Amino acid sequence: MTSSLLLSVTTFIYGLAAVLYIAGWVFRRPLAARLGTWSVWAAVAGNAAGFILRWIESYRMGIGHAPLSNLYESLVFFAWTIGVSHLVIEHRYRNRVIGAFTLPLAFLAMAYASLSPYVSDRIQPLIPALKSNWLIAHVITCFIGYAAFAVGFGLSIMYLLSKIAAAADGRSGQRRAADVLVLQFFLVGLGLILFRFILGWSFGAGLAGAVAMAAVVDLAAWLLGRQQRVRDELFTRFPEPSLMDLLTHQTVMFGFVFLSAGIITGAIWANSAWGRYWGWDPKETWSLITWFVYATLLHARLMRGWQGRRIAYLSILGFIAVLFTYFGVNLLPGLHSYGAMAQQLR
């Protein structure tokens, strides 16, 4: 049993958990949701075992190091932190519908790691710049922060969904249209990640698949939503909107502390590896941008009393910044065909 095999199996357990939670929510089956919780426990355990096994394997290869050094390893750790965060939230607030919105994120992270043709699971030796304990602290704190933000993102999507479904609440058609639009972007983004990055389709095919998937979900939602009874049943078991809003705030606060710690440990590591604690390179700058967005959210809420939709929007914006910090920086255009930039050891 190799760690890669174990982690591939874990991917499907996360997927199973996501399916169980969604089924439990949509078809009103508490048993399915309960099985979902058990699945998450199994997935988190398998994920942790795979992590430890990979650590041991690296020592057996003579290049022993903590498995936090490349995209595959960080994605695996990310999925684990999302799983653990979900279990904590579910236990505290005793609500099994949240799982339908957080587990898919964990599944996507693991699936990207295990299934994508763009991610290699080979254990590579550490190049000199990565040999630092500060790096390990940096990766761990960053991903705990990202996981908290991911859960907050899930809660914000839930919030918008519940607001769209709420009947006769005097909302203007414009606001509702804006919410629907945001959810469309979310669905298409989800589809793109699934088809383009995880399954490795071309960008055109991936986009087409994503749009098709969004259309199918929209159709299903519209058909389901036409009946008031169904709408009520689907959304009564959501947490109260004020609770979802409060939870979003709490997860963002938690994530903010860890993101701050992550940026700080990253700066300390950079200072010992490259001689400067801050170089305004894209990765560093985008982590700061993420920090600014969430700081804006906290100030708007604590000082101006922003609540509800505005907070949900900022939380979604913040998570997009998180994704850009994690993945997007690698796609940035660069004038790379020449720059003899001195950071040769990255």
Compute how many other C-beta atoms are within 10 angstroms of the C-beta atom of residue 102: 29
Query: Contact region for another protein (CB under 8 A) — 25-33, 97-105, 191-199, 285-293?
Result: 285-293
Task: Decide if 260 contacts 168 (C-beta within 8 A).
Answer: no
Compute how many other C-beta atoms are within 10 angstroms of the C-beta atom of residue 313: 18
Per-residue CA distances from 284 to 87, 263, 324 (Å): 30, 8, 12
Task: Decide if 249 contacts 305 (C-beta within 8 A).
Answer: no
Q: Does 64 bind another protein (CB under 8 A)?
A: no
Q: Does 275 bind another protein (CB under 8 A)?
A: yes
Binding mask 80-119 for another protein (x = CB under 8 A): ----------------------------------------
**Rounded to the nearest whole angstrom, what is the least distance from the CB of residue 301 to another protein in the complex?**
11
CA dist 316 and 310 (Å) reads: 10
Residues in the chain: 346
Long-range contacts at 211-214 (CB < 8 A, ≥ 24 apart): 213/187, 214/184, 214/187, 214/188
CA dist 263 and 294 (Å) reads: 14
264, 307, 308, 320: residue in contact with another protein (rule CB under 8 A): 264
CA dist 76 and 86 (Å) reads: 16
Q: Does 327 bind another protein (CB under 8 A)?
A: no
User: In this complex, which beta carbon is closest to another protein, that of residue 45 or of residue 329?
Assistant: 329
Q: Does 267 bind another protein (CB under 8 A)?
A: yes
Query: Contact region for another protein (CB under 8 A) — 13-21, 80-88, 207-215, 288-296?
Result: 288-296
60, 91, 117, 128: residue in contact with another protein (rule CB under 8 A): 128
CA dist 265 and 257 (Å) reads: 12
9, 115, 207, 268: residue in contact with another protein (rule CB under 8 A): 268
- Using CB under 8 A as the criterion, which residues of the chain lie in contact with another protein when the complex forms? 63, 124-125, 127-129, 131-132, 246, 250, 253-254, 256-257, 260-261, 264, 267-269, 271-278, 280, 282, 285-286, 288-289, 292-293, 295-296, 299-300, 302-304, 321, 329, 332-335, 338-339, 342, 344-345
